[in-house]
A and B are shown apart, each in its own frame.
Chain A
Amino acid sequence: MRPRLLIKRLLFLVLVIWAASTIVFFIPRLSSRNALRERFAELARTGGFSSTDMEKIIASMQKQFGLDQPLLQQYWQYLNNLVHLDFGVSLYKYPATVTELIAQALPWSISLLLVTTILSFVIGNLLGAIAAWPRSPRWMRGIATPFVLLTGVPPVIMGVLLLFFIGFRLKLLPLGGSYSVGLIPDWSWPFFLDLMAHQILPALALIFGSVGGWVLSMRGMGITIQGEDYVNFAEHKGLTPGRIFRDYYLRNTLLPQVTGLALALGTVVTSAIIVEGLFALPGIGSLINVAIRANDFPTIYGIVIFITIAVAVLMAILEFVYPLIDPRVKNE
């Protein structure tokens, strides 16, 4: 890989992260809301308060957070912090830093997110490829439609329905939480199974919502590819249908889809936010959910930027990996 291309890609990565963090920085400051003040108002509601004291505390916290400095200086400080992966301190769970909170929540989410993204990719693309292939049996080609319909079911609603019918009515799977009440997390097999059982419904909710997207895009791709001359020639060569499907059709349709994996992860994460909240899983989704309800702005922004960085980095990685699997792409 030539160094110039490498630099271009890295520059892009940096630009994306910069753009996201700048947007996230400036928007809240454009509004008239004052996070600190609101937080204190809330705290004050639960306990008593003396207004002068509160003002003093607010003033000192402003100073501590650097909120009394001119905007540009704050911005500079902010960018500086970002480079060191310092997202600031949570307002709600003060004095925990946002970074700590993310680090705590991340492990609970990772398995869910990875499994969901990969499974939707595999299932969705396979279904889409089959749906577009003229020689698939009729019933298989029709499968595309229900799944596309399912994209219309936001994962949260799917979660609600699954929760209701399978969890509530049929009592087959747990209603929420990441592991059953009373169990102590450890590296044992029963605990692992219990953990998995709690992941099934949320994973299903997310997968059902994402599969449709892959089905549609793969189907479109498949229809283009099947009209290609080489697929035609493969048939002229008298190849078995299985071979044509696998080597001439599937390979060519699947490759371009891989580039969409990074964006897909981003989409899954955004859906996961609500689903995790619904199922009370202590992952990143719940974290941001709680932060929204509590107006914990630093946490909200920190998570948003974190997710953006993750997606952008994944995109960059995929771009580097892709030429390794597609012989046509030469890095000029």
Chain B
Amino acid sequence: MTTVAMSPQQAIEQPNGLVLLLRYLRRNKGLAVGLAIFLALVLFTVIGSFTVDLKHAYPLSVGLKKPPSWQYPFGTDFFGRDLLAAMVVGLWQTAVIGILAGGLGTLIGVILGFIAAYFGGFADATIRTVCQILTPIPVLLIQVVIASSLDKRDVTIFTMAFIVVLLAWMGPTLVIRSQVLTMKERQFVSVAKLSGVSDFGIIFKEILPNLLPFIAAAFVSQVFLAVFAAFYLAVLGLGPLREPLLGNIIWAATGQGAFFNGWWWWPIEPSIGMILILGSLALINMGLDELANPRVRRTE
């Protein structure tokens, strides 16, 4: 046979990562909006912590029950908190709880899900069964039980985060487990094993990178659930009552009949704050969901 001219496959120019990201954001408006709101909230908190006197977020700092004015843009409440300061501190604390509980929950989920899927057998059966049994249990209610059993003095934002994590890890565990299971069956793992890559090598170099979108999505949804749960507990009056957590403020407001007394700004502001936080997280979650599932990903 005559020799054949073989030209190397020409590489296709890939636009760099940032451009692809921006193009994607243009298509996925939900994600873009969610991120925008989130960034706005972050800015609010950061700028707020420098410009506002944060000590005023605690009771008896300023005049009582004043409606929004130039001096107190968000007004003050029944107990003498400057609501602007309260919002700044409250947002920050909510973020701490969210990220702490969310991060911990995701971490536990990843580790457990991984162990279950990768090592199979007894570990898998146990972890899976425990998750399945705990799923029908109304988790928020159990958290109510836990929170209400605590001595009121022991409740801080960290204990709240802990309570919230306690029963939230099942979701990510099952998701990560099913993803790792599908990956285990796929060929690139077998190929790596055949090539002699160690178990650890496989885990870190092959599987984890493919898991990243799912881990990111799980993280965001865990943060969402954590913030939601913390809020829920706080609204019931089970939060650290001194802290200006948004849920606490609403609890106090309804407890004092804020609407009927005409102090409308008192419950409305934390409500809006809560809506923004959870809304942006929900949108980001929806957006990441699309990213993780390529089929869902929108094409132009």
Q: Which residues of A contact B (CB under 8 A)?
A: 12, 15-16, 19-20, 23-24, 27-28, 30-33, 145, 148-149, 151-154, 156-157, 160-161, 163-164, 168, 212, 216, 220, 223-224, 227, 262-263, 266-267, 269-270, 273-274, 278, 288-289, 292-293, 295, 297, 300-301, 303-304, 307-308, 311-312, 315
Contact = CB atoms under 8 A, between A and B. Distances in A.
A27 B146 CA distance: 6
A154 B144 contact: no
The 6 closest A-B pairs by CB, nearest first: A152-B278, A152-B279, A28-B149, A31-B149, A270-B140, A157-B271
Contact of A148 (B135, B136, B140, B283): B283
Q: What's the interface size class on B, roughly?
A: 35 or more
Contact of B281 (A152, A295, A312): A152
Q: Is the interface of A mostly helix, strand, loop or mixed?
A: helix
Contacts, number: 145
Contacts of B186: none
A295 B150 CA distance: 11
Interface stretch (B39-47, B50-58, B79-87, B289-297): B289-297
A16 B148 contact: no
Contacts of B144: 288, 292, 300, 304
Interface in B198-239: 224, 228, 231-232, 235-238
Contact of A304 (B135, B145, B280, B296): B145
B136 A312 contact: yes
Interface string B261-287: 000100110010011111111110010
B151 interface: yes
A15 B138 contact: no
Interface of B: 29-30, 33, 132-138, 140-142, 144-146, 148-151, 224, 228, 231-232, 235-238, 250, 254, 259, 264, 267-268, 271, 274-283, 286, 289, 293, 295-296
Nearest to B150: A31
Contact of A293 (B30, B136, B149, B237): B237
A263 B236 contact: no
A223 B296 CA distance: 6
A168 B283 contact: no
A163 B29 CA distance: 31
Nearest to A15: B133
Given A148-B30, A289-B236, A168 B275 contact: no
A153 B279 contact: yes
A274 B234 CA distance: 11
B141 A270 contact: yes
Q: Is the interface of B mostly helix, strand, loop or mixed?
A: helix
A303 B228 CA distance: 21
Nearest to A270: B140
A216 B286 contact: yes
B113 to A, nearest CB: 19
Nearest to A157: B271
B228 A27 contact: no
Contact of A24 (B142, B151, B259, B296): B142
Contacts of A227: 295
A301 B141 CA distance: 9
Given A223-B293, A304-B144, 8 more contacts: A19-B134, A153-B279, A160-B250, A220-B293, A269-B138, A304-B141, A308-B138, A311-B138
Contact of B149 (A30, A145, A168, A267): A30
Contacts of B137: 16, 19-20, 23, 308, 311
Contacts of A304: 138, 141-142, 144-145
A152 B280 CA distance: 8
